Amino acid sequence: MSPPVDPVRSDPNVPRRVGVVVVGGGIIGASTALFLAEKGQSVALCEKGRIGGEQSSRNWGWCRTMGRDSREIPLAIESLRLWRGMNARTGRETGFREAGIVYLCETEREVAAQEAWLSEARQYQVDARLLRGVALDALLPGAGGRFVAAMHTPTDGRAEPAHAAPAMAEAARAAGATMLTECAVRRIETQGGRVSGVVTEKGRIACDAVVLAGGAWSRLFCGNTGIDLPQLRVLGSVFRTAPLTGGPDITAGGSVFAFRKRLDGGYTIARRNANVADLTPDSFRLLLQYLPTLKRNYGEIRLRFGRRFFEEWRTRRRWALDEATPFEAVRVLDPAPRQATLEEARDALSRTFPAFAGMQVAESWGGLIDVTPDAVPVIGEVPAIPGFFLATGFSGHGFGIGPGAGRLAADLVAGDTPVVDPAPFRFGRFGEVNRRDVA
């Protein structure tokens, strides 16, 4: 079932012209719109369904620097800086709390992996440290006797997926942006080789730039625009508990489980290292690009063949501007969670920490995560179409680094000095792209 998310009403009128159209109302799109509006840019955000309705409200709610790919660490550091002031910036509760995050290690091999990451990350002055024995037990009572060590980052935090993207969207509106929900963008238009507008199901909007923050839908959108974006979807499964007394305040992950305390007193819980990758036609089209990642993460991704192969086989990949699109046919992706995976997490957590033994599951849900071949997002302009920017492929990291990603995307669109080096996120790293003509 779909998790709860704060509602955001749509503005009634579609503007005839704005400076920038943001496609997608998840946390990336909402934060991009917020920072663009704060720069004085005229912005319209178009969301085919509801703000934060897909993965932005279905994730774990972690806001971390720890364990990031080294290319993402500067963006994660900037995001945490922004998260700390996000309640004040938006005038709303995003749920951010700097409660720390800990990765629990069951073997010395896991400790060695954490130490290797820390050695590489020290160049960024990350606030992470390795704990053992009494120090670990003081941080998370009971852990010292069950785990050999843990990596702890006290300045990492957590936030509430149900609140965050809507809060940023409302703040963007207060800064002058237009919010349009149930308003799918069917295609971008170009004139003289660069972006000149978009056609939505509710009419055309002239603009000078478009930011695609479409999450799991981005590859399909790009394909109809003539751009081959390498991106697949994987299924994450999550459940939340009823309020639970006596549980830990810190956010933690072991080899099998992950948990985060919620503002309502319950916990968001998931099975770590067990996302499901449904085999689809794109799985075979992109096999060579994803093969290194599959080999590197062998055992952490569960392949599955079933209904989704045929659903995506039947999904149209091309459409005319006057036709209803797949974005209008499916307003909100709401996949069923894999209950067997959630049971594994529940059983492991109950055995490890007695406080969770009596937990009551309030609801569970699934979410489709947009994944690139190197599990690092694409943030930047598409060279083949000036004025067309991507902010997608966050590979399960988008919630935590969402504010920084939105700030970076806004800087690039506005032509300002980027808040972090954008080079690691350039689209061109995937090789040359063949672009067909855009009508």
Alpha helix ranges (H) inside 126-226: 133-139, 161-174, 218-225
Supply the pTM of this predicted model: 0.95
- Cα 396 from Cα 302, distance rounded (Å): 16
Q: Which H or E element spans position 269?
A: strand 267-271
**Close Cβ partners of 115 (under 8 Å, ≥ 6 residues apart):** 130
Name the percent of the chain lying above pLDDT 70: 98
- Please identify which residue in the block is written with the tokens 């449904």: 278
pLDDT-derived band at 179, boundaries 50, 70, 90: very high
- Cα 337 from Cα 347, distance rounded (Å): 17
**Close Cβ partners of 287 (under 8 Å, ≥ 6 residues apart):** none
- Residue 432 burial by Cβ neighbours in a 10 Å radius (0-12, 13-18, 19+): exposed
Q: Which amino acid, 1? A: M
For residue 436, pLDDT beyond 80: no
- Cα 241 from Cα 258, distance rounded (Å): 13
Give 333-360 pLDDT, tens digit per residue. Answer: 999 999 999 999 999 999 999 999 999 9
Give 198-228 pLDDT, tens digit per residue. Answer: 999 999 999 999 999 999 999 999 999 999 9
pLDDT of residue 2: 82
Give 33-68 pLDDT, tens digit per residue. Answer: 999 999 999 999 999 999 999 999 999 999 999 999
- Please identify which residue in the block is written with the tokens 């000078």: 208
**Is residue 270 classed as helix, strand or coil in its secondary structure?**
strand
Q: What is the mean pLDDT of residues 232-252?
A: 95
For residue 439, pLDDT beyond 60: no
334: left (phi over 0), alpha (psi -120 to 50) or beta: beta
User: Residue 146's Cα: distance from chain center in Å?
Assistant: 32
Give 70-94 pLDDT, tens digit per residue. Answer: 999 999 999 999 999 999 999 999 9
pLDDT-derived band at 294, boundaries 50, 70, 90: confident
The string of DSSP letters for 31-72 reads HHHHHHHHTT--EEEEESS-TT-SGGGTS--EE--TT--TTT
- Do the Cβ atoms of 211 and 409 come closer than 8 Å? yes
**Nearest residue to 227 (alpha-carbon basis) of 236, 245, 238, 214:** 214
Give 353-408 pLDDT, tens digit per residue. Answer: 999 999 999 999 999 999 999 999 999 999 999 999 999 999 999 999 999 999 99
366 has which bridge partners?
A: 237
Return phi, psi of residue 361, to 5°. Answer: -75, 120
Task: Take residue 394 and report the two structure tokens written for it.
Answer: 């966050």
First and final C-alpha spacing in the chain: 39
- Do the Cβ atoms of 249 and 388 come closer than 8 Å? no
- Cα 329 from Cα 331, distance rounded (Å): 6
- Please identify which residue in the block is written with the tokens 């996000």: 86
